Structure 1
Amino acid sequence: MGIPHFLVIPYPIQGHVNPLMQLSHLLSKHGCKITFLNTEYSHKKTNKNEQNQQTINFVTLPDGLEPEDDRSDHKKAIFSIIRTMPSLLPKLIEDVNNLDVENKISCIVVTFNMGWALEVGHKLGIKGVLLWTSSAITLAYCYSIPKLIDDGIIDSVGIPTKEQEIQLSPNMPKIDTANFPWRAHDQILFDHILQETQTMKLGHWWLCNTTYNLEHATFSISPKFLPIGPLMSNDHSNKSSFWQEDTTCLDWLDQHPPQSVIYVSFGSLAVMDQNQFKELALGLDLLNKPFLWIVRPSNDNKVNYAYPEEFHGTKGKIVGWAPQEKILNHPSIACFISHCGWNSTIEGLYGSVPFLCWPFAGDQFVNKSYICDVWKVGLELDKDENGLITKGELRKKVDQLLGDEEIKERSLKLKELTLENIVEGGQSSKNLQNFINWAK
């Protein structure tokens, strides 16, 4: 029997590629063989130092879209991938296996939207696993869609039948039905999620980038759930980036005293309108504190926003993309103004940084509930009657957060509890070892 050989297939967005890359490096450290399948388009965008790593073999397939197509249109991207890649995968698997007949692909690991690869593997007799890149509670809700429809909580297209708070099981956090993870999706995408959660059942395990203590009640939902997080690169280098990272911000942070800098980043997908952008800029001026603000360029490396004329930004540094894990572990960071995407949430907890929560879409509202109501390591920014987070609100909440010693203490405590999971003998480490033994 050869060593386990994993074919890993992320949906081609930053928030899926990164955790799967980190898992790949972990598995490789344990002596497993990794073949990493990118789409041709996302492979061209990924930083080259990642692809030079000897431990991982990179392969590509086309996503079926034209170079000029808008890949941030997820409906378009998902369905193009589903039309194009499944028929090409068996040949790719055969080619990879021919290169090393002793150690053929023994397990396929996918992220959400790539469930079709579990079906292909199933037909070829290759076992499969899902790596879920969001919170376990989000997976629990997606998994429970048929039950939520049967119980009359949502209709057949995912829309809540009434405004209420519900719990999936007694100890799980309550969720407002307005904040279901699929809340902004149309019927086609909702049907896709429903179909995908059925396909996921082909996965023997649902690996989660979380820890038992962060979401303990959720793991009673299904025995397939396996927390193996936080997936962190100890040297912070095992990250794939679709944009060039500006590392000058780390030298800039070195020049500031501990817990003095406000870090602002909304991840790789969130988009805000021009009015809100202006209000945020003026709010950062109003804070009169040093800030590091990530203003992500679009695909053609242009910034789509205009800074207001009265914005000075003299105390701040604005960059297009940055090594977030390193930033959140830097002693000068005081708090994190975040969209509450799950990767950012985990990285913030890992850096013991208090949060100011500004969710935009999907699971971010659920993650915000964890941060503010369950773990109590952050505050929510409230919108005014026009749906804007005003500069005054920003200043008020930053002052409140930075003055709250209890939140800081809880952040440190939560970091310790989270780290206990990934040391030798920790719960997540044991789960990972059991998973590798299963793969063998």
Structure 2
Amino acid sequence: MAKGHVLVLPMPCQGHVIPFMELSHRLADEGFEVTFVNTEVDHALVVAALPPGGAAELRQRRIHLAAIPDGLAGDEDRKDLNKLIDAYSRHMPGHLERLIGEIEAGAGGGRPKVRWLVGDVNMGWSFAVARRLGIRVVSFWAASTACLAIMLKIPKLIEDGVLNEKGWPERQETLQLAPGMPPLHTSLLSWNNSGAAEGQHIIFDLVCRNNKFNDDLAEMTVCNSFHEAEPAVFKLFPDLLPIGPLVADRELRRPVGHFLPEDAGCLDWLDAQPDGSVVYVAFGSLAIFDARQFQELAVGLELTGRPFLWVVRPDFTPGLSTAWLDAFRRRVAGRGVIVEWCSQQRVLAHAAVACFVSHCGWNSTLEGVRNGVPFLCWPYFCDQFLDRSYITAVWRTGLAVAAGEEDGVVTRDEVRSKVEQVVGDGEIRERARLLRDTARACVSEGGSSHKNFRKFIDLLSE
């Protein structure tokens, strides 16, 4: 008999689904039954991308995949966060309540009733649905805790005249909530660079509502971070409990909810490369490059003369010339490998990887940190600029690319030069190694994240 039944609800984005699935595996290890709720579109992607036997493994582990509509039509752009957030905030509460009713109606068939919701802080509306139905709530924050801290400080930032009532900066300045926290320019606040400016109010309003939902309805907030990575934040907000860096299993083989099938062949290619030689390049699930920027990056990687592994999603560069890409592939054949998606965690754990050219999403950041990999930072939007600040200014485990002031393009020479600087800097490598050792100690028996995870499990076991 399961310890209890937990409903898990991530924000419908790849960067949230993965850590929530990792957490679900950890809950299953502790004896809980889990119902993992995706939107219908994301659910279909996850199921289609599962490796052979993946669906059976999830069922065997008592992780049930469920789906509800997000409120958008089938052909609408779900990479437009303003549109996605507006739709799911209005439509998903009723669908979630219906799903819980269906689970409750079938509870006599051997599955216990849902006792807890572990919900994304970005899905705060779900906390109200759960509490109304007698279900207790723990919130989970999947990005850097510094990002959440800035959101929680919005009333103070408005009071101090840094922001206006609509969330736009009143002053162009570098913001730092406390010593030791990552500095961030006010023009790069996450709710102001996540989509079209005319829809900014949708995300800012959501953040403000979620702060209230979280304060009023969640009994605990856990974070995919570790104390020593963000000590200043946890001093400022001691009630936020870091339980990371999360992994589904030590072997990194359990399915974690990827939206695209993983290309396993690149791991065999990595096996044939010398240790510390490969430049790994990946920009997550949402970044888009125009054709010129794609070509500059490609030629820059070629100019390094180093082996590289580059993840290029099918939708990464709309309008790129197929002939140009085919010619590039021929020129770098054997030395450069391009895949549509891969098991990033297993790639970053590979001894052949020398550095990570990254958009600095928090999952990617933690995965690089956990494996002691130096970074070349190339943020795209949202909280990624804050993560870049951690890497370059606080931990000092990497450098950042600089775009041209006139056209905003990162040139091939900039790519080549910065890759060489990162790979050749022994002090960066040593700091990355030390942070890796600290991260691993935190999740080991007696570490700070391990102790916090036990508190979390004890609460769910009540």
Query: TM-score interval w.r.t. the shorter chain?
Result: over 0.9
CA contact (8 A) 1:167 1:173 kept: yes
What residue is the counterpart of 2:369 in the other structure?
349
Q: State the Cα distance separating 1:146 from its structure 2 match.
A: 1.5
Which TM-score applies when normalising by structure 2?
A: 0.90
CA contact (8 A) 1:327 1:333 kept: yes
What residue is the counterpart of 1:190 in the other structure?
204
Q: State the Cα distance separating 1:33 from its structure 2 match.
A: 1.6
Specify which of 99, 107, 111 is matched with residue 92 of structure 1.
99
Specify which of 77, 85, 88 is matched with residue 81 of structure 1.
88
The letter for the 2-side match of 1:116 is W
What residue is the counterpart of 2:230 in the other structure?
215
The letter for the 2-side match of 1:226 is L
Q: State the Cα distance separating 1:192 from its structure 2 match.
A: 2.0
What residue is the counterpart of 2:455 in the other structure?
434
**Aligned-CA RMSD value:** 1.9
Q: State the Cα distance separating 1:304 from its structure 2 match.
A: 4.8
Deviations 1:270-311 (A, max 9, x none): 112221111111111111111111111139xx9653364773
What residue is the counterpart of 2:309 in the other structure?
292
In structure 2, list runs of 5 or more residues that go unmatched: 195-199
Output the CA distance in 1 between the equivalents of 2:416 and 2:375: 14
What residue is the counterpart of 1:51 in the other structure?
55
Alignment of 1:50-69 (within 5 A): 50-52=54-56, 53=58, 54-55=60-61, 56-69=63-76
Q: Which moved more, 1:344-353 or 1:180-189?
A: 180-189
CA contact (8 A) 1:50 1:240 kept: no
Tell me, yes or no, if structure 1 residue 408 matches structure 2 residue 424: no
CA contact (8 A) 1:78 1:113 kept: no
Specify which of 260, 264, 268 is matched with residue 281 of structure 2.
264
The letter for the 1-side match of 2:436 is K
Q: State the Cα distance separating 1:66 from its structure 2 match.
A: 2.2
Number of matched pairs: 438
Specify which of 223, 229, 251 is matched with residue 235 of structure 1.
251
Percent of pairs with identical residues: 42
Q: Residues 133, 50 of structure 1: CA spacing in aligned structure 2 closer, same or farther, 3 A cutoff?
A: farther
CA contact (8 A) 1:204 1:224 kept: no
Tell me, yes or no, if structure 1 residue 246 matches structure 2 residue 263: yes
The letter for the 1-side match of 2:211 is T
Q: Residues 420, 150 of structure 1: CA spacing in aligned structure 2 closer, same or farther, 3 A cutoff?
A: same
Aligned to 2:122, what secondary structure does the other structure show? coil
Aligned to 2:28, what secondary structure does the other structure show? helix
CA contact (8 A) 2:85 2:203 kept: no
Q: State the Cα distance separating 1:183 from its structure 2 match.
A: 2.7
In structure 1, list runs of 5 or more residues that go unmatched: none
Output the CA distance in 2 between the equivalents of 1:104 and 1:115: 22
The letter for the 2-side match of 1:237 is R
Deviations 1:88-122 (A, max 9, x none): 32332232234335832111111243211101112
Aligned to 1:3, what secondary structure does the other structure show? coil
Q: Residues 173, 43 of structure 1: CA spacing in aligned structure 2 closer, same or farther, 3 A cutoff?
A: closer
Q: State the Cα distance separating 1:361 from its structure 2 match.
A: 0.8
What residue is the counterpart of 1:106 in the other structure?
115
Output the CA distance in 2 between the equivalents of 1:306 and 1:23: 41
Q: Which moved more, 1:164-173 or 1:355-364?
A: 164-173
What residue is the counterpart of 1:169 in the other structure?
178
Specify which of 327, 333, 337 is matched with residue 317 of structure 1.
337
